[in-house]
Amino acid sequence: MSLKHVIGRGLAIGRTALHRAVFNPVLRTAAQLRNLRPRQASYSNSSLLPSRYRYFRVSLSGLAAQLQRHLFRTASGTGSPRNRAVFLAFGLGMGLIEQQLEEDRNSSAACKEIQALFHKKMKKYENPFKSFSAGYKLEDYLIGQEIGKGCNAAVYEAAPANKDYTFANIYSSEKQNTSAEKSEKDLVPVKFSSGSIFPLAVKMMWNIGEDSSCESILKMMGKELVPASPHAMSADKRTVTLKGHFGYKTKKLEPHPNVIKIFRAFTADVPLLPDAWESYPDMLPTRLNPTGIGHNRTLFLVMKKYPRTLRQYLDETIPPHREGVQMILQLLEGVDHLYKQGIAHRDLKSNNILMEYDSVGSIRLVITDFGCCLAESYWGLKLPFNSTCVDRGGNMSLMAPEVVSAVPGPCTFIDYSKADVWAVGAIAYEIFGRPNPFYKTGLESRTYHERELPALPQQMPPAVQLLVKLLLRRDPHKRPSARTAANMLHIYYWNEKRSFLNPAIMNKTVDWLLCQCATAILQSRGYRGNTVEVELLSCFLSNIDMAEFQTGIAYLEFCGQKIK
Protein backbone atom coordinates (compact mmCIF):
# COMPACT_ATOMS: atom_id res chain seq x y z
CA MET A 1 0.00 0.00 0.00
CA SER A 2 1.43 3.42 -1.02
CA LEU A 3 1.94 6.23 1.45
CA LYS A 4 -0.68 8.27 -0.44
CA HIS A 5 -3.25 5.56 0.07
CA VAL A 6 -2.30 5.20 3.72
CA ILE A 7 -2.80 8.93 4.36
CA GLY A 8 -6.07 8.91 2.45
CA ARG A 9 -7.27 5.97 4.47
CA GLY A 10 -6.32 7.71 7.70
CA LEU A 11 -8.25 10.82 6.69
CA ALA A 12 -11.30 8.73 5.91
CA ILE A 13 -11.06 7.04 9.29
CA GLY A 14 -10.82 10.42 10.98
CA ARG A 15 -13.87 11.78 9.19
CA THR A 16 -16.05 8.78 9.99
CA ALA A 17 -14.93 8.38 13.59
CA LEU A 18 -17.47 10.98 14.69
CA HIS A 19 -20.39 9.02 13.30
CA ARG A 20 -19.14 5.73 14.71
CA ALA A 21 -18.77 7.06 18.25
CA VAL A 22 -15.26 5.77 18.81
CA PHE A 23 -13.91 8.84 20.52
CA ASN A 24 -13.97 7.58 24.07
CA PRO A 25 -11.14 5.06 23.51
CA VAL A 26 -9.22 7.72 21.59
CA LEU A 27 -9.64 10.21 24.39
CA ARG A 28 -8.39 7.72 26.91
CA THR A 29 -5.35 7.03 24.73
CA ALA A 30 -4.62 10.74 24.44
CA ALA A 31 -4.98 11.13 28.19
CA GLN A 32 -2.56 8.29 28.80
CA LEU A 33 -0.03 9.94 26.49
CA ARG A 34 -0.25 13.06 28.65
CA ASN A 35 -0.42 11.06 31.92
CA LEU A 36 -3.84 12.59 32.52
CA ARG A 37 -7.23 11.06 33.14
CA PRO A 38 -10.20 12.18 31.04
CA ARG A 39 -11.98 15.05 32.70
CA GLN A 40 -15.72 15.27 33.19
CA ALA A 41 -17.71 17.06 30.50
CA SER A 42 -18.18 20.75 31.21
CA TYR A 43 -20.70 21.67 28.53
CA SER A 44 -23.73 23.57 29.75
CA ASN A 45 -27.34 22.93 28.78
CA SER A 46 -27.25 26.03 26.62
CA SER A 47 -24.59 24.60 24.34
CA LEU A 48 -25.37 25.00 20.68
CA LEU A 49 -24.05 21.56 19.87
CA PRO A 50 -26.58 18.89 18.93
CA SER A 51 -27.16 16.42 21.75
CA ARG A 52 -25.26 13.61 20.07
CA TYR A 53 -22.03 15.69 20.20
CA ARG A 54 -22.22 16.66 23.86
CA TYR A 55 -20.24 13.72 25.17
CA PHE A 56 -16.93 15.14 23.90
CA ARG A 57 -14.58 15.73 26.81
CA VAL A 58 -11.88 17.73 25.10
CA SER A 59 -11.71 19.95 22.05
CA LEU A 60 -11.16 17.96 18.90
CA SER A 61 -8.71 20.52 17.59
CA GLY A 62 -6.78 20.18 20.85
CA LEU A 63 -6.83 16.42 20.50
CA ALA A 64 -5.54 16.69 16.95
CA ALA A 65 -2.72 18.94 18.15
CA GLN A 66 -1.81 16.46 20.89
CA LEU A 67 -1.69 13.62 18.40
CA GLN A 68 0.48 15.60 16.02
CA ARG A 69 2.88 16.67 18.81
CA HIS A 70 3.16 13.07 19.96
CA LEU A 71 3.95 12.08 16.37
CA PHE A 72 6.82 14.55 16.10
CA ARG A 73 8.17 13.57 19.52
CA THR A 74 8.30 9.95 18.40
CA ALA A 75 9.40 10.68 14.85
CA SER A 76 12.91 9.47 15.64
CA GLY A 77 11.59 6.37 17.40
CA THR A 78 11.37 2.86 16.11
CA GLY A 79 7.76 3.06 14.89
CA SER A 80 7.22 2.09 11.30
CA PRO A 81 6.70 4.85 8.70
CA ARG A 82 3.32 3.40 7.81
CA ASN A 83 2.09 3.63 11.42
CA ARG A 84 3.39 7.18 11.72
CA ALA A 85 1.60 8.13 8.50
CA VAL A 86 -1.67 6.64 9.71
CA PHE A 87 -1.25 8.43 13.04
CA LEU A 88 -0.63 11.74 11.26
CA ALA A 89 -3.60 11.25 8.94
CA PHE A 90 -5.83 10.42 11.89
CA GLY A 91 -4.76 13.62 13.63
CA LEU A 92 -5.48 15.63 10.50
CA GLY A 93 -8.89 13.98 10.34
CA MET A 94 -9.64 15.15 13.86
CA GLY A 95 -8.88 18.70 12.81
CA LEU A 96 -11.26 18.41 9.86
CA ILE A 97 -14.01 17.19 12.17
CA GLU A 98 -13.53 20.30 14.31
CA GLN A 99 -14.43 22.34 11.24
CA GLN A 100 -17.56 20.23 10.76
CA LEU A 101 -18.51 20.80 14.39
CA GLU A 102 -18.20 24.55 13.88
CA GLU A 103 -20.58 24.30 10.93
CA ASP A 104 -22.99 22.31 13.09
CA ARG A 105 -22.82 25.01 15.77
CA ASN A 106 -23.73 27.64 13.20
CA SER A 107 -26.53 25.47 11.82
CA SER A 108 -27.95 24.90 15.30
CA ALA A 109 -27.81 28.62 16.04
CA ALA A 110 -29.61 29.38 12.76
CA CYS A 111 -32.28 26.80 13.62
CA LYS A 112 -32.86 28.43 16.99
CA GLU A 113 -33.32 31.83 15.35
CA ILE A 114 -35.77 30.38 12.82
CA GLN A 115 -37.62 28.59 15.60
CA ALA A 116 -37.92 31.77 17.68
CA LEU A 117 -39.18 33.80 14.71
CA PHE A 118 -41.94 31.41 13.73
CA HIS A 119 -42.87 30.56 17.30
CA LYS A 120 -43.86 34.21 17.71
CA LYS A 121 -45.92 33.98 14.53
CA MET A 122 -47.68 30.86 15.81
CA LYS A 123 -48.54 32.75 19.00
CA LYS A 124 -50.60 35.14 16.87
CA TYR A 125 -53.18 32.41 16.27
CA GLU A 126 -55.97 34.02 18.24
CA ASN A 127 -59.63 33.57 19.09
CA PRO A 128 -61.59 34.69 16.00
CA PHE A 129 -64.51 35.58 18.29
CA LYS A 130 -62.48 37.73 20.68
CA SER A 131 -64.85 40.66 20.07
CA PHE A 132 -67.71 38.57 21.46
CA SER A 133 -67.42 39.74 25.06
CA ALA A 134 -70.54 38.01 26.40
CA GLY A 135 -71.49 34.36 26.01
CA TYR A 136 -71.25 33.09 29.57
CA LYS A 137 -74.97 32.25 29.70
CA LEU A 138 -77.13 29.99 27.59
CA GLU A 139 -79.44 32.95 26.92
CA ASP A 140 -76.63 34.65 24.97
CA TYR A 141 -77.02 32.27 22.03
CA LEU A 142 -79.41 31.34 19.27
CA ILE A 143 -79.57 27.58 18.77
CA GLY A 144 -79.93 25.93 15.39
CA GLN A 145 -80.18 22.31 14.33
CA GLU A 146 -78.40 19.33 15.81
CA ILE A 147 -75.19 18.72 13.85
CA GLY A 148 -73.66 15.86 15.79
CA LYS A 149 -74.04 13.41 18.63
CA GLY A 150 -71.60 11.21 20.49
CA CYS A 151 -71.65 8.87 23.43
CA ASN A 152 -71.55 11.70 25.97
CA ALA A 153 -72.82 14.87 24.28
CA ALA A 154 -74.94 16.44 21.56
CA VAL A 155 -73.72 19.30 19.36
CA TYR A 156 -75.86 22.11 17.95
CA GLU A 157 -75.12 24.99 15.63
CA ALA A 158 -75.37 28.37 17.33
CA ALA A 159 -74.88 32.11 16.98
CA PRO A 160 -74.64 35.08 19.34
CA ALA A 161 -78.10 36.43 20.12
CA ASN A 162 -78.95 39.87 18.71
CA LYS A 163 -81.21 42.64 19.94
CA ASP A 164 -84.20 41.71 17.81
CA TYR A 165 -84.07 37.96 18.35
CA THR A 166 -82.78 37.09 21.78
CA PHE A 167 -82.14 33.70 23.21
CA ALA A 168 -84.46 34.54 26.12
CA ASN A 169 -87.38 34.95 23.69
CA ILE A 170 -86.67 31.55 22.16
CA TYR A 171 -86.80 29.82 25.50
CA SER A 172 -89.75 31.65 26.98
CA SER A 173 -92.03 28.72 26.23
CA GLU A 174 -89.58 26.18 27.65
CA LYS A 175 -89.44 27.94 31.02
CA GLN A 176 -93.14 27.32 31.51
CA ASN A 177 -92.68 23.55 31.15
CA THR A 178 -91.17 22.74 34.52
CA SER A 179 -93.61 20.01 35.46
CA ALA A 180 -92.22 16.50 35.08
CA GLU A 181 -95.74 15.15 34.55
CA LYS A 182 -96.33 16.79 31.16
CA SER A 183 -96.66 14.48 28.20
CA GLU A 184 -94.38 14.58 25.19
CA LYS A 185 -96.75 16.56 22.98
CA ASP A 186 -97.32 19.09 25.76
CA LEU A 187 -93.60 19.94 25.84
CA VAL A 188 -93.00 22.80 23.42
CA PRO A 189 -89.66 22.33 21.63
CA VAL A 190 -87.27 25.24 21.29
CA LYS A 191 -87.66 27.42 18.22
CA PHE A 192 -84.68 27.46 15.94
CA SER A 193 -83.52 28.62 12.53
CA SER A 194 -81.38 26.95 9.90
CA GLY A 195 -79.01 28.47 7.41
CA SER A 196 -75.58 30.05 7.27
CA ILE A 197 -76.07 32.45 10.18
CA PHE A 198 -74.55 30.06 12.71
CA PRO A 199 -70.75 30.39 12.98
CA LEU A 200 -70.58 28.59 16.33
CA ALA A 201 -71.28 25.16 17.74
CA VAL A 202 -72.57 24.45 21.25
CA LYS A 203 -71.72 21.09 22.77
CA MET A 204 -74.10 20.03 25.53
CA MET A 205 -72.59 17.38 27.77
CA TRP A 206 -74.81 14.71 29.29
CA ASN A 207 -74.63 14.82 33.05
CA ILE A 208 -75.70 11.45 34.41
CA GLY A 209 -73.07 10.91 37.10
CA GLU A 210 -72.69 14.15 39.03
CA ASP A 211 -75.01 16.41 40.95
CA SER A 212 -76.10 19.74 39.53
CA SER A 213 -73.64 21.98 41.35
CA CYS A 214 -71.38 24.04 39.11
CA GLU A 215 -68.18 23.11 40.93
CA SER A 216 -68.88 19.35 40.78
CA ILE A 217 -69.68 19.51 37.07
CA LEU A 218 -66.55 21.49 36.22
CA LYS A 219 -64.28 19.21 38.23
CA MET A 220 -65.70 15.99 36.82
CA MET A 221 -65.75 17.22 33.19
CA GLY A 222 -62.52 19.17 33.49
CA LYS A 223 -60.78 17.24 30.70
CA GLU A 224 -63.23 18.74 28.21
CA LEU A 225 -61.80 22.14 29.16
CA VAL A 226 -58.17 21.28 28.36
CA PRO A 227 -58.31 23.16 24.99
CA ALA A 228 -60.29 26.07 26.48
CA SER A 229 -59.04 29.62 26.01
CA PRO A 230 -57.91 31.58 29.11
CA HIS A 231 -61.19 33.55 29.19
CA ALA A 232 -63.50 30.67 28.32
CA MET A 233 -65.14 30.74 31.76
CA SER A 234 -66.53 33.76 33.54
CA ALA A 235 -64.29 35.46 36.06
CA ASP A 236 -66.05 33.95 39.08
CA LYS A 237 -65.57 30.42 37.71
CA ARG A 238 -61.89 30.70 36.74
CA THR A 239 -60.84 30.09 40.32
CA VAL A 240 -62.30 26.56 40.26
CA THR A 241 -59.37 24.13 40.21
CA LEU A 242 -59.93 21.52 37.53
CA LYS A 243 -58.51 18.19 38.62
CA GLY A 244 -57.91 14.87 36.92
CA HIS A 245 -58.67 11.42 38.27
CA PHE A 246 -55.57 11.41 40.49
CA GLY A 247 -56.34 14.74 42.14
CA TYR A 248 -53.66 16.75 40.33
CA LYS A 249 -54.36 19.93 38.43
CA THR A 250 -55.37 19.47 34.79
CA LYS A 251 -53.13 21.10 32.18
CA LYS A 252 -54.26 23.80 29.79
CA LEU A 253 -53.46 23.66 26.09
CA GLU A 254 -51.97 26.51 24.10
CA PRO A 255 -53.69 27.34 20.78
CA HIS A 256 -52.74 25.53 17.59
CA PRO A 257 -54.34 25.58 14.11
CA ASN A 258 -54.88 21.80 14.21
CA VAL A 259 -56.40 21.61 17.70
CA ILE A 260 -59.94 22.71 18.64
CA LYS A 261 -60.32 25.85 20.72
CA ILE A 262 -63.14 26.28 23.21
CA PHE A 263 -64.24 29.91 23.39
CA ARG A 264 -66.80 29.68 26.19
CA ALA A 265 -67.65 27.13 28.89
CA PHE A 266 -70.46 27.43 31.42
CA THR A 267 -73.05 25.40 33.30
CA ALA A 268 -76.79 25.86 32.79
CA ASP A 269 -80.10 24.08 33.11
CA VAL A 270 -80.65 21.44 30.44
CA PRO A 271 -83.15 22.85 27.88
CA LEU A 272 -85.39 20.99 25.46
CA LEU A 273 -83.36 21.45 22.28
CA PRO A 274 -84.45 20.47 18.76
CA ASP A 275 -84.73 16.72 18.15
CA ALA A 276 -84.01 16.01 21.82
CA TRP A 277 -86.95 13.61 22.15
CA GLU A 278 -85.90 11.67 19.06
CA SER A 279 -82.14 11.79 19.53
CA TYR A 280 -81.44 11.39 23.25
CA PRO A 281 -84.63 11.15 25.36
CA ASP A 282 -82.98 9.10 28.11
CA MET A 283 -80.37 11.81 28.74
CA LEU A 284 -83.00 14.42 29.59
CA PRO A 285 -83.68 15.33 33.23
CA THR A 286 -86.90 14.19 34.85
CA ARG A 287 -88.43 17.67 34.59
CA LEU A 288 -88.39 17.19 30.80
CA ASN A 289 -88.77 13.42 30.60
CA PRO A 290 -90.11 11.47 33.60
CA THR A 291 -88.05 8.43 32.57
CA GLY A 292 -84.85 10.37 31.89
CA ILE A 293 -81.67 9.78 33.88
CA GLY A 294 -79.96 13.14 33.37
CA HIS A 295 -79.46 15.85 35.97
CA ASN A 296 -80.99 19.32 35.72
CA ARG A 297 -77.73 21.14 35.02
CA THR A 298 -74.79 20.29 32.82
CA LEU A 299 -71.76 21.73 31.02
CA PHE A 300 -71.99 23.65 27.73
CA LEU A 301 -68.97 24.26 25.49
CA VAL A 302 -68.92 26.89 22.73
CA MET A 303 -66.54 26.50 19.80
CA LYS A 304 -66.24 27.22 16.11
CA LYS A 305 -68.61 25.29 13.86
CA TYR A 306 -66.99 22.96 11.32
CA PRO A 307 -68.83 21.53 8.30
CA ARG A 308 -68.24 17.86 9.09
CA THR A 309 -65.97 15.27 10.63
CA LEU A 310 -63.12 13.60 8.80
CA ARG A 311 -65.06 10.32 8.88
CA GLN A 312 -68.05 11.93 7.14
CA TYR A 313 -65.77 13.40 4.49
CA LEU A 314 -63.98 10.10 3.84
CA ASP A 315 -67.31 8.29 3.50
CA GLU A 316 -67.93 10.42 0.40
CA THR A 317 -64.48 11.21 -0.99
CA ILE A 318 -60.99 9.75 -1.28
CA PRO A 319 -58.56 12.69 -1.25
CA PRO A 320 -55.72 12.92 -3.79
CA HIS A 321 -52.44 11.50 -2.53
CA ARG A 322 -50.72 14.84 -1.98
CA GLU A 323 -53.74 16.14 -0.07
CA GLY A 324 -53.75 12.93 1.96
CA VAL A 325 -50.11 13.51 2.90
CA GLN A 326 -51.09 17.04 3.90
CA MET A 327 -53.81 15.64 6.18
CA ILE A 328 -51.42 13.24 7.91
CA LEU A 329 -48.96 16.11 8.37
CA GLN A 330 -51.62 18.16 10.12
CA LEU A 331 -52.46 15.30 12.47
CA LEU A 332 -48.80 14.77 13.30
CA GLU A 333 -48.32 18.49 13.96
CA GLY A 334 -51.37 18.51 16.23
CA VAL A 335 -50.19 15.42 18.14
CA ASP A 336 -46.69 16.87 18.50
CA HIS A 337 -48.20 20.06 19.90
CA LEU A 338 -50.08 18.00 22.50
CA TYR A 339 -47.04 15.95 23.46
CA LYS A 340 -44.82 18.98 23.93
CA GLN A 341 -47.25 20.19 26.57
CA GLY A 342 -47.49 16.80 28.24
CA ILE A 343 -50.96 15.89 26.94
CA ALA A 344 -52.08 12.66 25.27
CA HIS A 345 -55.43 12.61 23.46
CA ARG A 346 -55.99 8.83 23.91
CA ASP A 347 -59.10 8.72 21.69
CA LEU A 348 -57.80 9.81 18.31
CA LYS A 349 -60.07 8.57 15.51
CA SER A 350 -61.60 9.98 12.34
CA ASN A 351 -64.88 10.76 14.17
CA ASN A 352 -62.97 12.99 16.60
CA ILE A 353 -61.33 15.03 13.85
CA LEU A 354 -63.18 17.99 12.34
CA MET A 355 -62.51 19.53 8.94
CA GLU A 356 -63.03 22.72 6.99
CA TYR A 357 -61.71 24.30 3.79
CA ASP A 358 -59.21 27.14 3.67
CA SER A 359 -59.21 30.05 1.21
CA VAL A 360 -57.74 27.92 -1.61
CA GLY A 361 -59.86 24.82 -1.04
CA SER A 362 -57.37 22.77 0.97
CA ILE A 363 -58.68 20.73 3.88
CA ARG A 364 -57.79 21.85 7.39
CA LEU A 365 -58.09 19.19 10.10
CA VAL A 366 -58.74 19.93 13.77
CA ILE A 367 -58.41 17.45 16.64
CA THR A 368 -61.38 17.64 19.01
CA ASP A 369 -63.09 15.82 21.91
CA PHE A 370 -60.63 15.77 24.81
CA GLY A 371 -62.90 13.91 27.22
CA CYS A 372 -60.53 10.90 27.38
CA CYS A 373 -57.26 12.83 27.36
CA LEU A 374 -54.39 12.42 29.80
CA ALA A 375 -53.48 15.89 31.01
CA GLU A 376 -52.26 15.42 34.58
CA SER A 377 -49.82 18.14 35.60
CA TYR A 378 -47.88 15.73 37.83
CA TRP A 379 -47.53 12.51 35.79
CA GLY A 380 -47.25 13.97 32.29
CA LEU A 381 -47.52 11.33 29.58
CA LYS A 382 -47.19 8.39 31.98
CA LEU A 383 -50.22 6.92 33.72
CA PRO A 384 -49.87 4.97 36.99
CA PHE A 385 -51.43 1.57 36.26
CA ASN A 386 -51.69 -0.22 39.57
CA SER A 387 -55.24 -1.49 39.15
CA THR A 388 -57.66 -2.67 36.47
CA CYS A 389 -59.93 0.16 37.60
CA VAL A 390 -57.59 2.71 36.00
CA ASP A 391 -59.05 3.98 32.73
CA ARG A 392 -56.73 3.43 29.76
CA GLY A 393 -58.79 5.90 27.71
CA GLY A 394 -60.33 5.74 24.26
CA ASN A 395 -61.66 2.69 22.45
CA MET A 396 -59.99 -0.70 22.34
CA SER A 397 -59.70 -0.80 18.54
CA LEU A 398 -57.28 2.12 18.28
CA MET A 399 -55.30 1.63 21.48
CA ALA A 400 -51.58 1.35 20.81
CA PRO A 401 -50.07 -2.09 21.57
CA GLU A 402 -48.16 -0.85 24.62
CA VAL A 403 -51.41 0.53 26.07
CA VAL A 404 -53.83 -2.31 25.37
CA SER A 405 -51.36 -5.02 26.46
CA ALA A 406 -50.26 -3.30 29.69
CA VAL A 407 -50.67 -5.40 32.84
CA PRO A 408 -51.49 -3.57 36.10
CA GLY A 409 -49.16 -3.89 39.04
CA PRO A 410 -47.23 -1.93 41.67
CA CYS A 411 -44.94 0.76 40.26
CA THR A 412 -46.36 0.09 36.77
CA PHE A 413 -46.89 2.94 34.31
CA ILE A 414 -48.38 3.17 30.82
CA ASP A 415 -46.30 5.43 28.58
CA TYR A 416 -48.51 7.38 26.14
CA SER A 417 -45.66 9.34 24.53
CA LYS A 418 -46.12 7.51 21.21
CA ALA A 419 -49.66 6.15 21.53
CA ASP A 420 -51.40 8.89 19.51
CA VAL A 421 -48.73 8.57 16.80
CA TRP A 422 -49.72 4.92 16.41
CA ALA A 423 -53.36 5.97 16.01
CA VAL A 424 -52.35 8.42 13.25
CA GLY A 425 -50.78 5.49 11.38
CA ALA A 426 -54.08 3.59 11.58
CA ILE A 427 -56.09 6.65 10.45
CA ALA A 428 -53.73 7.00 7.47
CA TYR A 429 -55.33 3.89 5.95
CA GLU A 430 -58.72 5.60 6.03
CA ILE A 431 -57.30 8.78 4.49
CA PHE A 432 -55.78 6.82 1.60
CA GLY A 433 -59.03 5.03 0.85
CA ARG A 434 -58.46 1.75 2.67
CA PRO A 435 -60.43 0.32 5.61
CA ASN A 436 -58.89 0.91 9.00
CA PRO A 437 -57.04 -2.39 9.62
CA PHE A 438 -58.03 -2.41 13.30
CA TYR A 439 -61.79 -1.94 12.91
CA LYS A 440 -64.53 -4.56 12.84
CA THR A 441 -63.13 -7.99 11.97
CA GLY A 442 -59.65 -6.71 11.20
CA LEU A 443 -56.45 -6.96 13.20
CA GLU A 444 -56.24 -6.56 16.97
CA SER A 445 -53.71 -4.08 18.28
CA ARG A 446 -52.93 -6.44 21.15
CA THR A 447 -51.82 -9.37 18.97
CA TYR A 448 -51.15 -8.24 15.39
CA HIS A 449 -47.86 -8.82 13.61
CA GLU A 450 -46.43 -6.02 11.47
CA ARG A 451 -46.21 -8.30 8.45
CA GLU A 452 -50.00 -8.70 8.65
CA LEU A 453 -50.66 -5.01 7.95
CA PRO A 454 -52.50 -4.61 4.63
CA ALA A 455 -50.83 -2.86 1.74
CA LEU A 456 -51.57 0.77 0.96
CA PRO A 457 -52.50 1.80 -2.60
CA GLN A 458 -49.64 1.19 -5.02
CA GLN A 459 -49.93 4.77 -6.27
CA MET A 460 -48.83 6.01 -2.86
CA PRO A 461 -45.23 7.29 -2.76
CA PRO A 462 -42.93 4.63 -1.29
CA ALA A 463 -41.64 7.05 1.35
CA VAL A 464 -45.18 7.63 2.65
CA GLN A 465 -45.96 3.91 2.66
CA LEU A 466 -42.86 3.18 4.71
CA LEU A 467 -43.64 6.01 7.12
CA VAL A 468 -47.09 4.54 7.82
CA LYS A 469 -45.45 1.17 8.51
CA LEU A 470 -43.03 2.87 10.92
CA LEU A 471 -45.90 4.58 12.74
CA LEU A 472 -47.52 1.18 13.28
CA ARG A 473 -44.46 -0.52 14.72
CA ARG A 474 -45.44 -2.57 17.75
CA ASP A 475 -42.38 -1.57 19.76
CA PRO A 476 -42.74 2.13 20.73
CA HIS A 477 -38.94 2.43 20.92
CA LYS A 478 -38.77 1.62 17.19
CA ARG A 479 -41.63 3.97 16.37
CA PRO A 480 -40.70 7.54 15.37
CA SER A 481 -41.95 10.38 17.53
CA ALA A 482 -44.59 12.75 16.19
CA ARG A 483 -41.90 15.39 15.58
CA THR A 484 -39.57 13.04 13.71
CA ALA A 485 -42.43 11.65 11.62
CA ALA A 486 -43.63 15.17 10.82
CA ASN A 487 -40.11 16.21 9.81
CA MET A 488 -39.89 13.22 7.48
CA LEU A 489 -43.14 14.17 5.76
CA HIS A 490 -42.20 17.85 5.63
CA ILE A 491 -38.91 17.07 3.89
CA TYR A 492 -40.72 14.80 1.46
CA TYR A 493 -43.69 17.16 0.96
CA TRP A 494 -41.70 20.29 0.18
CA ASN A 495 -39.21 18.45 -2.07
CA GLU A 496 -41.53 16.05 -3.85
CA LYS A 497 -41.31 17.90 -7.17
CA ARG A 498 -37.51 17.78 -7.25
CA SER A 499 -36.49 14.35 -6.08
CA PHE A 500 -37.09 11.75 -3.44
CA LEU A 501 -34.43 13.31 -1.22
CA ASN A 502 -32.83 16.43 -2.61
CA PRO A 503 -29.04 16.43 -1.98
CA ALA A 504 -29.32 20.12 -1.13
CA ILE A 505 -30.96 19.17 2.15
CA MET A 506 -27.94 17.13 3.12
CA ASN A 507 -25.26 19.55 1.95
CA LYS A 508 -26.91 22.94 2.46
CA THR A 509 -29.41 22.43 5.25
CA VAL A 510 -29.51 26.00 6.50
CA ASP A 511 -29.84 27.45 2.99
CA TRP A 512 -32.80 25.17 2.35
CA LEU A 513 -34.44 26.16 5.64
CA LEU A 514 -33.96 29.86 4.92
CA CYS A 515 -35.67 29.38 1.56
CA GLN A 516 -38.61 27.78 3.36
CA CYS A 517 -38.69 30.74 5.76
CA ALA A 518 -38.91 33.20 2.89
CA THR A 519 -41.65 31.13 1.27
CA ALA A 520 -43.72 31.01 4.47
CA ILE A 521 -43.39 34.74 5.16
CA LEU A 522 -44.24 35.80 1.60
CA GLN A 523 -47.21 33.44 1.31
CA SER A 524 -48.65 34.46 4.69
CA ARG A 525 -48.69 38.09 3.54
CA GLY A 526 -50.41 37.30 0.26
CA TYR A 527 -54.09 37.80 -0.48
CA ARG A 528 -54.82 34.16 0.39
CA GLY A 529 -53.78 34.61 4.00
CA ASN A 530 -52.86 31.68 6.24
CA THR A 531 -53.63 28.68 4.08
CA VAL A 532 -53.11 25.13 5.28
CA GLU A 533 -49.75 24.96 3.50
CA VAL A 534 -48.56 28.17 5.13
CA GLU A 535 -49.68 26.92 8.55
CA LEU A 536 -47.90 23.60 8.04
CA LEU A 537 -44.70 25.29 6.95
CA SER A 538 -44.89 27.67 9.90
CA CYS A 539 -45.43 24.74 12.29
CA PHE A 540 -42.42 22.98 10.82
CA LEU A 541 -40.16 26.02 11.13
CA SER A 542 -41.37 26.94 14.62
CA ASN A 543 -40.32 23.48 15.83
CA ILE A 544 -37.12 23.07 13.82
CA ASP A 545 -34.28 21.45 15.71
CA MET A 546 -31.08 20.42 13.95
CA ALA A 547 -30.73 17.07 15.71
CA GLU A 548 -34.38 16.11 15.11
CA PHE A 549 -34.18 17.37 11.54
CA GLN A 550 -31.16 15.20 10.83
CA THR A 551 -32.94 12.25 12.44
CA GLY A 552 -35.76 12.76 9.95
CA ILE A 553 -33.24 12.82 7.10
CA ALA A 554 -31.70 9.60 8.42
CA TYR A 555 -35.13 7.95 8.38
CA LEU A 556 -35.67 9.13 4.81
CA GLU A 557 -32.28 7.73 3.81
CA PHE A 558 -33.37 4.44 5.35
CA CYS A 559 -36.56 4.64 3.28
CA GLY A 560 -34.50 5.33 0.17
CA GLN A 561 -32.36 2.26 0.78
CA LYS A 562 -35.48 0.15 1.25
CA ILE A 563 -36.92 1.48 -2.00
CA LYS A 564 -33.75 0.68 -3.91
Active site residues: 347
CA 381 to chain centre: 13
Query: Is the distance from CB of 174 to CB of 190 less than 8 angstroms?
Result: yes
Which residues in 141-275 belong to E strands, given as ranges?
141-149, 153-160, 200-205, 262-269
CB atoms within 10 A of CB 154: 21
Nearest-angstrom CA–CA distance, 224 and 242: 10
Give the neighbor-by-neighbor strand order of the sheet with 297-304: 141-149, 153-160, 200-205, 297-304, 262-269
Q: Tell me which amino acid residue 152 is.
A: N
Residue 300: exposure state from Cβ atoms within 10 A (0-12, 13-18, ≥19): buried
Query: What radius of gyration, in Å, describes the C-alpha atoms of the chain?
Result: 29
What is the helix, strand, coil percentage profile of the chain, to 5? 45, 10, 45
Residue 201: what are its φ and ψ, rounded to 5°? -130, 135
CA angle 219, 225, 228 (to 5 degrees): 145
Compute the distance between CA of residue 443 and CA of residue 462 in angstroms, rounded to an integer: 23
Per residue, the 3-state secondary structure of 411-472, as one string, reads: CCEEECCCHHHHHHHHHHHHHCCCCCCCCCCCCCCCCCCHHHCCCCCCCCCHHHHHHHHHHC
